[in-house]
Chains A and B, each alone.
Chain A
């Protein structure tokens, strides 16, 4: 997978995004010494957290002495830039974030929010995990997924295509199909 984008040589960023909502249990699960240690062991150098409207504020680290550099922010208009610079993305289960990340060819862990009512979001994440396009976790299992994930086992994502819909619509109206 083309997951090794990064501006500086040797800089490997993990980007966490919760979208427009809040997802404190994800941020809490990320904000632990064990998780930071495991990310470091896997060769990541930076952890950037987009925490949205969440109330839980994670700890910051400057990343000196070979530790993980951790930073956070609430919202940004340039999520795409963060995604592009990341070597690993950990995202909430919104379809917008999921497909934006997959289309960039970045390794992705989707964390399903168990607190949401009528949780249809897990359907998509689980289906795509079955097809090996991403890893699916829940806040309590996130650490385990990070520790045991093999990025090599992921398959490259083939972006979908809306032309079948367009053609059926043309056929319906009797438009010529080019």
Chain B
């Protein structure tokens, strides 16, 4: 039986790496399979912790138009994220939340947790060179990871500013490691009529979002697993 002898250490090492590989593969298939699948009728559940990614001017206006029609008792507490250099967006979100709070007090409805506002580093400022943007992208990615692991949202809603891709990727990773099941909703900006934005394209191709919405029929024709919802503005 001498020919059958295998060094046990060698065998164990390979068994170990193989099982990790298989585990990662299985875990990934599981996440991939369940991403985009609805929760079913189970949930009259309480509120979902929601991370809302804001962009500059147009993006934020679109997002607020969505938020006014969403039932905020179901999506809370809410955490807003905007780029470090963007002062207007969080301010606008603050105005929206204050109004919500005022309405709530008028209706004597239950008081929910206060919203939080956070800032995130941008991977690339407009006009920044590609060489220096490698470094800033890494910093931005680390920052996104830190925000996602700190917040551990159950829902991420975003509509296409550059900051949303690293956040979506990290939220997917959060799901992967099993810390929190996080559903990602991506609404492509109304400004995109014929071509997706880079963030949109990455989120679509990598199958990161549970639901991917487009506002123009031309895009829907091009990207059929998206959902066409008409204009938000």
Question: A residues touching B (Cβ–Cβ < 8 Å)?
Answer: 19-20, 94-97, 99-100, 103, 120-121, 123-124, 126-127, 159-166, 168-176
Contacts and interface: CB of A to CB of B under 8 A. Distances in A.
B166 to A, nearest CB: 20
Contact of A165 (B43, B56, B66): B66
Interface in B30-80: 38-45, 48, 56-58, 61-62, 65-66, 68-71, 74
Given A174-B38, A176-B44, A163 B69 contact: yes
A6 B197 CA distance: 39
Given A168-B227, A173-B38, A173-B39, A120 B197 contact: yes
Contact of A120 (B45, B61, B192): B192
B184 to A, nearest CB: 11
Given A120-B192, A164-B229, A173 B61 contact: no
Interface string B166-207: 000000000000000001010101111111010000000000
B57 A175 contact: no
Given A20-B57, A121-B191, A174-B40, A166 B230 contact: no
Contacts of A175: 43-44, 71, 74
Contact of A127 (B56, B57, B193): B193
Contact of A161 (B42, B45, B69, B216): B69
A22 B58 CA distance: 17
A127 B216 contact: yes
Contacts of A123: 191-195
Contacts of A168: 211, 213, 227, 229
Interface residues on B, range: 35 or more
Interface of B: 38-45, 48, 56-58, 61-62, 65-66, 68-71, 74, 183, 185, 187, 189-195, 197, 210-211, 213, 215-216, 227, 229-233
Nearest to A169: B185
6 contacts: A95-B189, A95-B233, A123-B194, A124-B191, A165-B229, A169-B70
Contact of A173 (B43, B194, B215): B43
A173 B191 CA distance: 28
A172 B210 contact: yes
Contacts of B210: 172
A127 B70 CA distance: 28
Given A127-B216, A165-B187, A160 B211 contact: no
